[in-house]
Amino acid sequence: MTEPARILVTGGYGCIGVQTVKWILANTSAMVVVGSRDVSEQRTERFFHDDDGTRLKCIALDVREQSQLEEVLNANAISHVIHLAAFQTPDCNDHRDMGLQINVAGTQNLIEAMKSCDSSVQRFVFASSIAVYGPRSSYPGSHVPMLAEPAPVNVYGAWKLAGEHISRLFCNETNIPTVSLRPGVLFGLGRDAGLTSTPTTAMKHVALEQPYEIPFSSRQDYLYAPDVGAAFALAAIAPFSGYGVFTLPSHTVDTAEIVATMRQAASLAGLGENFAVTAGTEEVPFICDLEYKPFVQAFADAPHTPLAAAIQESLEAFKVQRQLGWLK
C-alpha cells in the first residue's frame, strides 16, 4: 500500500498557498506542512477553519535558514515540496537585499536542503511568475508563446527567472521531477497586494456595498485563485517526469469586461442595488495573451473556472467574510 504524500508548502499562508493547501486537503489523503515566517493559531483558523485539520501542520519557517529547512524536511518525512515563499514586487523594489535573500538565496537554500535531507523528495514545484516576460508590446502576434524570450522589467521578475534556472539545475543534478509555474494576475480570496490586486479590491467593495474605481483599463490575463491552487497541487502530485516550465490557464479581458461581469454577479448575489465599481483610464503594459495549452496537455485535470462563475464565487466568499467581521 502506497503511503500518502507528505507535502511541504512554503509561503502557505499566502493567496496561492492557502488555495493549494485547501485543494490538497479536499482532494487527496496527503499530509500538509505549511511553512510561513508568521504562524499563529488565529491565522490558521481564519484560513483553514473549514478544512481537515488532522492532516495539517503549520510551522514557523524562514527560507533564509538552510538548517531549519533540512530539519523540517527530515522531521516530517516530506515527499513533495511546493515552494511559494517570496517577496512580491512592491517589497522587492523597496527592500532589495531582503528580497534577494528570500527569493533567490531562499530558493537555493531549499534546494540544498532537499539534496541533503534524509527523506526522499519525489517532486519539487517552484512558483515563478509571468513577471519573467517583458511588456506585451515586446511580443508581436495575437498570442505570446509560453517559451517566448524572457525580458523581466524589474528585480522581482529577474529573481523569479533565476529561480527557474536553479530549479532546472536541481532537476538535472538529482533527476527529481521539477516544475516551474508562472502564474499571472490572481483574483479572489487572499489577493490583497499590488496594482493588479485592485479588481479583487473592487469585489471586496461590492461585498461591503461601497464605491471603488479600478485605476486601469488595460487588458490582462486573469487567473482565479482556487484554480491556481489546484494547478500547483496537481503539478506536485500528478504524473510528470523531467523538468517543465508552464504558464497557467487564464481569461484575457480588459477592465470594462471585468466590471460588467462583476455587475452581473453582484445582481445575482443580492448586491446590485449599491453597485458602484468603475474603471479608470490608466493604460499599463501588462503582459497578456499568454499561451497555456502546454500546461493543459501536461495536467489535464486542472480546473479552469469560467470568469463569470469565478467572480460570482468570489463575491459570495467576500459576503461571508463580511458577515464574520473579517472584511473591513
Q: From CA 196, how far away is CA 192, in angstroms rounded? A: 9
Q: Which pLDDT does position 152 carry in this prediction?
A: 94
Using the structure block, give the residue that is written with the C-alpha cell 493543459: 296
Q: Give the pLDDT score at 327.
A: 86
Domain tally for the chain?
Answer: 1
| 270 lies in some domain | no
Question: Is 156 contained in some domain?
Answer: yes
3-state secondary structure the chain: CCCCCEEEEECCCCHHHHHHHHHHHHHCCCEEEEEECCCCHHHHHHHHCCCCHHHEEEEECCCCCHHHHHHHHHHCCCCEEEECCCCCHHHHHHCHHHHHHHHHHHHHHHHHHHHHCCCCCCEEEEECCHHHCCCHHHCCCCCECCCCCCCCCCHHHHHHHHHHHHHHHHHHHHCCCEEEEECCEEECCCCCCCHHHHHHHHHHHHHCCCCEEEEECCCEEEEEHHHHHHHHHHHHHCCCCCEEEEECCCEEECHHHHHHHHHHHHHHCCCCCCCCEEEEEECCCCCCCECCHHHHHHCCCCCCCCHHHHHHHHHHHHHHHHHHCCCC
What pLDDT shows up at residue 247?
97
List the chain pLDDT tens, one digit each, 328 residues. 478 999 999 999 999 999 999 999 999 999 999 999 888 888 888 889 888 889 999 999 999 999 999 999 999 999 999 999 998 888 888 899 999 999 999 999 999 999 998 778 999 999 999 999 999 999 999 999 999 999 999 999 999 999 999 999 999 999 999 999 999 999 998 887 766 889 999 999 999 999 999 998 889 999 999 999 999 999 999 999 999 999 999 999 999 999 999 999 999 999 989 999 999 988 887 899 999 999 999 999 999 999 999 999 999 999 999 998 888 7
Q: How far apart are CA 100 and CA 113, in angstroms?
A: 18
281 domain-assigned: no
**Domain containing residue 43:** 6-184+225-249+286-304
In the chain, the amino acid numbered 128 is S
Dist CA 227 CA 190 (whole Å): 13
Query: How far apart (Å, rounded) are the C-alpha atoms in residues 287 and 183?
Result: 12
pLDDT for res 88 = 85
Q: What is the CATH number of the domain that holds 158?
A: 3.40.50.720
Q: What is the pLDDT of residue 52?
A: 86
Residues 235 and 125: their CA atoms lie apart, in Å, by 7
Residue 164 domain flag: yes
The whole model's pTM is what? Answer: 0.95
Chain CA centroid to CA 174, Å: 26
Q: Is residue 214 part of a domain?
A: no
Beta-carbon contacts of residue 300 (< 8 Å; ≥ 6 apart):
none
What's the pLDDT score for residue 93? 86
Residue 299 confidence (pLDDT): 97
Q: What is the pLDDT of residue 293?
A: 96
Contact 79, 33 (CB under 8 A): no
Q: Within a domain: residue 111?
A: yes
Q: Is position 271 within any domain? A: no
Q: CA end-to-end span of the chain, whole Å?
A: 48
pLDDT of residue 132: 96
pLDDT at position 202, please?
95
What pLDDT score was predicted for residue 7? 98
Residue 162: which residues within 8 A CB-CB, separation 6 or more?
104
The number of angstroms, rounded, from the C-alpha of 152 to the middle of its chain's C-alpha atoms is 19
Q: Flag whether 52 is in a domain.
A: yes
Can you say whether the dihedral through the CA atoms of 177, 20, 265, 279 is positive or negative?
negative
| CA–CA gap between residue 22 and residue 45 (Å, rounded) | 13
Distance CA(143)–CA(86), nearest Å, equals 28
